Structure 1
Amino acid sequence: MSLDRPNLISFQSLRRILLSVLTAFILLKLISSLVGTFDRPQIQGKFELYQTNLVLVASEWKPTEDLEGLGALQTSIVGTDILKSATQQYQNARSSDVLAIEKLKTSLAGLGSAESNANTKESLALQTNLINKTIAAAQLEIERIDLRIGILQAANKQPEQAIVTWHKVITDASRSTSKNVAASLIGIWQKSASIDRHTLPQIKAEITTNFDGWFRDRILTQVYTDLDDRPELDKLAIAEQLKAKNALIKLALITIPRVLLGVSGVFLLVFFIVRLIIIAIQQRKERSVPEILLANLNPWQTPWDWEIVWQVFVVGFFFVGQFLLPAIFSILVEPATLTTRGQGLYVFSSYVLMASLGIGVLFLSIKSYMPLPPDWFKFNWRSNWLLWGIGGYLIATPIVIVVSLINDKIWHGQGGSNPLLQIVLEDRDSTALVLFFVTAAVAAPLFEEFLFRGFLLPSLTRYVPVWGAIAISGLVFGVAHLSLSEILPLTTLGIILGIVYVRTRNLLAPMLLHSLWNSTTLASLFILGSGN
């Protein structure tokens, strides 16, 4: 049975109407999701504080005679004025939280003055409740930070300033626990008579509950010193040296590869720029700079039009991934109530299902155009994809780092992040971490590169130049991650992935680059988290 022309026109019109409605719905959902990340903290802030905590622990290491050579490594990684820099990091984190609270209160005031009817009252109430919870969480984080800033000040021989900081916690804190802890810290550093061997167990329990790592050890050292408890001081010193040595090893595992990769990337980038300039001068009358950079500016032979691209992304990616599957899963299970292992399984299974449905929609959308031209969805194992994947990763490292530094100046620690990164940073369940790793380092590169570089980029070359297709596909890639603060760095990464794909015309190269990027990010977070 075949459709006659009037029926075909009617079907196409109906499809366009449905796609238009879905597009409007998806745009609203997309904008809402992006706006929702405006006041959320970035993972970068947590990342920096975790690294600061690890540096503080490592700074206490005193190398033995046979390991004196590692003293230089310790100095290069830890620095020379760790207490000052650590205090600055915590003050920066505090400023970010204060700024976030101010923005949230402004949003709350806007909701309070908004006109509402029966249909919007429930929505406004939910938004108000969510904002109030976020404000309360940020205020608790400020209290925790202030307690630790005081300990840093006391360790830096500024006990009077520390006591002022803790008195401010007692005055401003909303949580009685924070007030009690601040009062205990003041008593410890003022050598209160109420702290003796009888009250020591209670003090130790309070310290252990509210502090860990370097901060806990500094408080206990102060307590044992005041009580002249040499055995406990010796036990604490031995344990502290072991932790400090392990922390230094973990910092080296994070820092040294990052420096080597960054330096290698800079040298490789300079080499390519110099080579590009030389070729451009030699061939200035024959080829343009984009032709030299991309080697091949010939567009793909695209048999379908923009409506197929529209259909694949609206239905197969955004509707399925951002609405349909979350709605189905929300009926079956509430992710927030799952254990970390359950969340790992949830993330993995939902992503694989989304990728499968997305590829299915893509296949059905282009099925009538098969067989495809030979330059589509190429996987050439015998080409130089390995070199391009690794080389692209090295070049991407310094470029994205610089863009991220600029991005931090724009967002000041806000703008949200991928929630998966937070879970990896803070959890130690090995099964969950394996599931997260497989999702981010295997499933995501395969699906996203197949869709964004394998399908979207070549399809766009029917309407825009190749360099324009690289830029647009990179931007869509950045926006699709639904985090305002990540749009700029991820768009930059997407453009580099696009350049690698255009140069190789082989999906294996950008897939490898993408996998290396996600893998090293997760590895750094895991090492940092395991040290805190």
Structure 2
Amino acid sequence: MTSEKQPLTIKQIGLLFLTAIALSLIALFLYNSWSQPQFQGQLELYQTNLLLNSSVWKGENLTPQAQGVLRQTLIGVEPVSTAISQYEDAQKDSQNHLEKTRQQLTELNQQPVANLTQETLLKQAIASTQESLEKINLNLGLLKIQADRVPEALQLWQKLADDPQSFTGDTAQALIGLWEDSPQILSEAPLMLDLELSGWFRYQALSRLYEIQGDELALRELETQQQEIAFQGIRKLLIVAGVQSVGIFL
């Protein structure tokens, strides 16, 4: 005789429901614990990038004295040096976070019973952190270029270019081509740099590319774009600083 399956009791249904909630809460907790350091680091870099964008503003309608006051008050004396320090801290934090997450995945895979939910979340966190770290290194290289630390920048980018699993290897190779002893422009370089970089970093890379090409028109257009970005950055810094009474910005 074929035995019929007994319907679930209310107690069993309740246990299944509570188990599902518990697993969801655990997954949410794990995701938040893995992503929170990354979010905090990204917020700090956003502030750093805002300062960099603002640092190239020419302020042609202001007197030299007013320009100096704004620059010293809002941006600081050495924005590139400050940004290098911030990016190196972010690089270290991201690398530590990546290694920690990889170790958690290794330990999870050694358990006798697989937990697919945790495994999926860990793999997603690893991929996200790896991509974020690579973008940090792209930008850090451009900062070091501006600080006349070209060999360090090329070394950073070369590691990305040599990694077959890199998310940004092609962009790194394009940057290497712009700053090596005998500059070479990859055919895809303009598009890659335009898509992968933003703000101050995009401006630095494309400026170098157009200078090598001798494209004065593209340089002027890029300068106009960057001045608008820089002006908006100044406005945001003024708002953050609570200085909203400066007439020229109203």
Same fold (TM over 0.5): yes
* C-alpha spacing 1:227/1:129, structure 2 compared with 1 (3 Å): same
**In structure 2, C-alpha distance between the alignment counterparts of 1:173 and 1:130, rounded to whole Å:** 23
**Does structure 2 conserve the Cα–Cα contact (< 8 Å) formed by 1:74 and 1:248?**
no
Partner of 1:206: 192
**Hey, what does 2:87 align to over in structure 1?**
90
Q: 1:149 to 1:173 in 2, by over 3 A?
A: farther
Partner Cα separation in structure 2 for residue 26 and residue 206 of structure 1 = 44
**1:62 corresponding residue in structure 2:** 58
Q: Corresponding residue for 1:40?
A: 35
CA distance in 2, matches of 1:30, 1:179: 37
The one-character-per-residue Cα deviations of 1:464-508 (angstroms, maximum 9, x if unpaired) are xxxxxxxxxxxxxxxxxxxxxxxxxxxxxxxxxxxxxxxxxxxxx
CA distance in 1, matches of 2:216, 2:31: 53
Structure 2 CA distance for aligned equivalents of residues 78 and 173 of structure 1? 38
1:131 match: 122
Whole-angstrom CA distance in 1 between matches of 2:117 and 2:26: 18
Q: What's the % identity of the aligned pairs?
A: 28
Secondary structure at the counterpart of residue 195 of structure 1: coil
Q: 2: CA distance between counterparts of 1:187 and 1:24?
A: 55
Aligned to 2:12: none
Distance between the aligned counterparts of 2:168 and 2:24, measured in 1? Answer: 39
Among 171, 188, 194, the alignment partner of 2:178 is 188
Report deviation, 1:65.
5.1
Separation (CA, whole Å) in 1 of partners of 2:119 and 2:25: 20
- SS of the residue 1:61 aligns to: coil
CA distance in 1, matches of 2:58, 2:94: 35
Match of 1:239 in 2: 225
Using the alignment, how far apart are the partners of 1:94 and 1:128 within structure 2?
Answer: 25
For residue 40 of structure 1, report the CA deviation from its aligned partner. Answer: 2.0
User: TM-score, normalised on structure 2?
Assistant: 0.79
Of 89-98 and 149-158, the range deviating more from structure 2:
89-98
Match of 2:145 in 1: 154
Call closer, same or farther: CA 1:24–1:133 in 2, change over 3 Å: closer
Shift of 1:28: 7.9
Work out whether 1:103 is the aligned partner of 2:93: no
Indicate the residue corresponding to 1:249 in structure 2: 235
Any unmatched runs of 5+ in structure 2? 1-16, 244-250
Residue 72 of structure 1 corresponds to which residue in structure 2? 69
Distance in 1 between residues matched to 2:100 and 2:135, nearest whole Å: 21
The answer to whether the 8 Å contact 2:145/2:153 transfers is: yes
CA separation in 1, counterparts of 2:116 and 2:70? 54
For structure 1, the 5+ residue unaligned runs are 1-21, 258-532
Q: Alpha-carbon deviation of 1:239?
A: 2.6
Structure 2 residue 174 is matched with structure 1 residue 179: no
Deviations 1:331-367 (A, max 9, x none): xxxxxxxxxxxxxxxxxxxxxxxxxxxxxxxxxxxxx
Shift of 1:214: 0.7
Are the counterparts in 2 of residues 40 and 100 from structure 1 also a CA contact under 8 Å?
A: no
The CA distance in 1 between the partners of 2:109 and 2:62, in whole Å, is 66
The alpha carbon displacement at 1:133 in A equals 1.8
Show the counterpart of 2:201.
215
TM-score calculated relative to the size of structure 1:
0.39
Alpha-carbon distance in structure 1 between the residues aligned to 2:134 and 2:103? 21
